[in-house]
């Protein structure tokens, strides 16, 4: 087992930018996956069901009845996958740990066989010169903890603290970058609000309780990681900050945008980065939850422990207005259909699809300016905060040609546009340290099952053959140049 630390993780603010097409020195080029979406081996080596195993087995919850039982079989094929990453020249790989693989009941001692998988994966990455970026939680709560109340129960944050300590002990000598949670908004608001994600509950009060306990779990994990990891380790959280835009300049639309920004973004950035829940959010939601009972003394100090980097995931902007009869649809917000709104406390808002924009297979508008604005907004609100784009990418209806190739010019265009937006934000003062393409390879896209392909690498699920798409070759070229190729090469 090699206990070497890769030195590809950035420790310092990048200093130079080479206009017009270069990226800062030390800018990290990566790709991301998540445990339940790629690993498979759902019942091997002691792993027990997570809420996603249960949810995907519940009829009608996931398209085609797909499950993550086998997924991309990354658990068995990680060596080949790391070799592929190396071929593509990736400098970092963002993966997540399956909690119920390492702590099957969500409490108590760890299962060494489960930990060994991550030790082997990390060693393989380090040997290939690829920096491992470990996310502790990408939505797969051990089912036993959901049965005990799930994220709406404060005790789940205690369990997460123990789990974080186990992981720091197992991988702390060789993983230099850690992320506590991936997109806690989805865990809370899609999991307990609209119910389109596991565990599929639709309880407004529980949604807000879940959000607070996720924040608390994050803060506690930061404390644990800082206590156990070497000083140079970077600790972060990844948020899917919604780039909320009002449809018109009207006051009513501005208020709709404020409310969605509240339950979509500031419910996390407020306590994590500013040490307080925003007053307007509390006012908007206090009929659903008693915040003074929910937030204990000391919670906000814990939650606001400084992070080294903020991870941001971006796919498409969120266009909102006050409800308008005949226009907009309160449910068509890009997060799946449900009779229950995920926007707990801000239900009376209409969501719109931007006109005149190309769309991905998710029907999400393609809008690189949204990424630029997002990076600039965070920089304006939190000057000097280092940022990392931890997910960005697109699903398209990819297929293998008779010659065995996958041409995906739309994805190349998408990536080119968004990387150019990152570059523009860097030139305008945002401290963006890296970019992780979602996803390394096709995988289980939650409620959409295997019907949506986000990978730079095509996965033929029947044979588990990997075929790098044209976009993977394009991305490899970007990494080699440390710059975007001329736009004419893009498509």
Nearest distance from residue 61's CB to ligand FCB, in Å?
A: 15
- Residues 399-436, buried b or exposed e (16+ Cβ, 10 A)? eeeeeeebebebbbbbbbbbbbbbbbbbeeebbbbbbb
Residue for token pair 């266009």: 319
CA distance 33 to 471: 17
Q: For residue 37, is it left (φ>0), alpha (ψ between -120 and 50) or beta?
A: alpha
The residues that are catalytic are: 183, 391
Q: Are 424 and 346 in contact (CB under 8 A)?
A: no
Alpha helices in 229-290 (DSSP H): 251-261, 267-269, 279-285
CB neighbour list of residue 346: distance below 8 Å, 6 or more residues apart: 256, 259, 260, 262, 263, 284
Return the structure tokens found at 19. 């206009």
Q: Which is nearer to ligand FCB, 207 or 240 (CB)?
A: 240
Nearest distance from residue 362's CB to ligand FCB, in Å?
A: 8
Q: Are 134 and 96 in contact (CB under 8 A)?
A: yes
Return the structure tokens found at 67. 């499950």
Nearest distance from residue 198's CB to ligand FCB, in Å?
A: 12
Q: Which is nearer to ligand FCB, 442 or 445 (CB)?
A: 445
Q: Which is nearer to ligand FCB, 174 or 335 (CB)?
A: 335
Q: Which is nearer to ligand FCB, 78 or 436 (CB)?
A: 436
Nearest distance from residue 140's CB to ligand FCB, in Å?
A: 11
Decide: residue 144, CB within 10 A, 0-12 exposed, 13-18 middle, 19+ buried: middle
Please state whether beta strands 318-321 and 350-352 pair in parallel, antiparallel, or not at all (unpaired).
antiparallel
Nearest distance from residue 368's CB to ligand FCB, in Å?
A: 17
First to last CA, the chain: 43
Nearest distance from residue 395's CB to ligand FCB, in Å?
A: 7
Nearest distance from residue 148's CB to ligand FCB, in Å?
A: 25
CA distance 441 to 456: 5
| H-helix or E-strand spanning residue 182 | strand 177-182
Residues contributing to the site for ligand FCB (CB under 6 A)? 34, 37, 182-183, 186, 240, 313, 391, 438, 445-446, 454
Q: Which long-range contacts (CB under 8 A, 24 or more apart) does 107-115 make?
A: 107/144, 107/145, 107/159, 107/162, 110/166, 110/170, 111/45, 111/46, 113/45, 113/46, 114/45, 114/46, 114/47, 115/166, 115/170
Is it true that the peptide bond before 20 is cis, omega within 30 degrees of 0?
yes
CA distance 264 to 319: 13
CB neighbour list of residue 3: distance below 8 Å, 6 or more residues apart: 173, 174
CB neighbour list of residue 147: distance below 8 Å, 6 or more residues apart: none
């Amino acid at each position: 087992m090699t206990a070497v630390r890769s030195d590809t993780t950035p420790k310092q603010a990048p200093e130079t930018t080479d206009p017009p097409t270069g990226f800062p020195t030390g800018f990290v080029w990566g790709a991301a996956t998540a445990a339940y979406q790629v690993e498979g081996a759902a019942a091997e080596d002691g792993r027990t069901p997570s809420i996603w195993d249960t949810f995907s087995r519940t009829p009608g919850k996931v398209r085609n009845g797909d499950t993550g039982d086998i997924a991309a079989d990354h658990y068995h094929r990680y060596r080949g996958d790391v070799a592929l990453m190396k071929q593509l020249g990736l400098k970092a790989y963002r993966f997540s740990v399956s909690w119920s693989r390492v702590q099957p009941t969500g409490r108590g001692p760890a299962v060494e066989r489960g930990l060994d998988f991550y030790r082997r994966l990390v060693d393989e990455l380090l040997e290939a010169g690829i920096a491992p970026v470990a996310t502790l939680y990408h939505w797969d709560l051990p089912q036993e903890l959901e049965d005990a109340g799930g994220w709406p129960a404060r005790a789940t944050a205690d369990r997460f603290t123990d789990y974080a300590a186990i992981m720091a002990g197992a991988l702390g000598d060789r993983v230099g970058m850690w992320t506590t949670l991936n997109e806690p908004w989805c865990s809370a608001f899609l999991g307990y609000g609209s119910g389109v994600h596991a565990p599929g509950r639709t309880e407004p009060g529980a949604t807000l309780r879940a959000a607070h306990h996720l924040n608390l779990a994050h803060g506690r994990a930061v404390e644990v990681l800082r206590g156990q990891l070497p000083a140079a380790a970077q600790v972060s959280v990844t948020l899917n900050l919604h780039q909320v835009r009002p449809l018109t300049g009207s006051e009513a639309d501005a208020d709709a945008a404020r409310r969605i920004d509240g339950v979509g973004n500031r419910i996390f950035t407020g306590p994590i980065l500013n040490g307080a829940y925003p007053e307007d959010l509390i006012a908007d939601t206090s009929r659903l939850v008693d915040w003074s009972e929910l937030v204990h003394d000391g919670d906000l100090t814990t939650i606001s422990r400084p992070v080294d980097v903020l991870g941001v995931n971006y796919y498409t902007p969120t266009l909102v207005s006050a409800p308008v009869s005949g226009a907009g649809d309160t449910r068509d917000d890009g997060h799946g259909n449900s009779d229950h709104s995920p926007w707990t406390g801000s239900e009376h808002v209409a969501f719109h699809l931007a006109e005149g924009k190309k769309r991905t297979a998710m029907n999400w508008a393609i809008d690189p300016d949204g990424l630029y604005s997002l990076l600039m907004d965070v920089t304006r609100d939190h000057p000097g905060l280092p940022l990392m784009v931890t997910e960005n990418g697109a699903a398209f209806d990819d297929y293998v040609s008779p010659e065995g190739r996958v041409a995906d010019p739309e994805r190349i265009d998408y990536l080119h546009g968004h990387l150019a937006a990152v570059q523009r934000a860097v030139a305008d003062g945002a401290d963006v340290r890296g970019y992780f393409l979602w996803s390394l390879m096709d995988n289980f896209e939650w409620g959409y099952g295997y019907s949506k392909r986000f990978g730079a690498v095509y996965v033929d699920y029947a044979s588990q053959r990997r075929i790098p798409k044209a976009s993977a070759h394009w991305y490899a070229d970007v990494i080699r140049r440390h710059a975007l190729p001329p736009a004419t090469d893009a498509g």
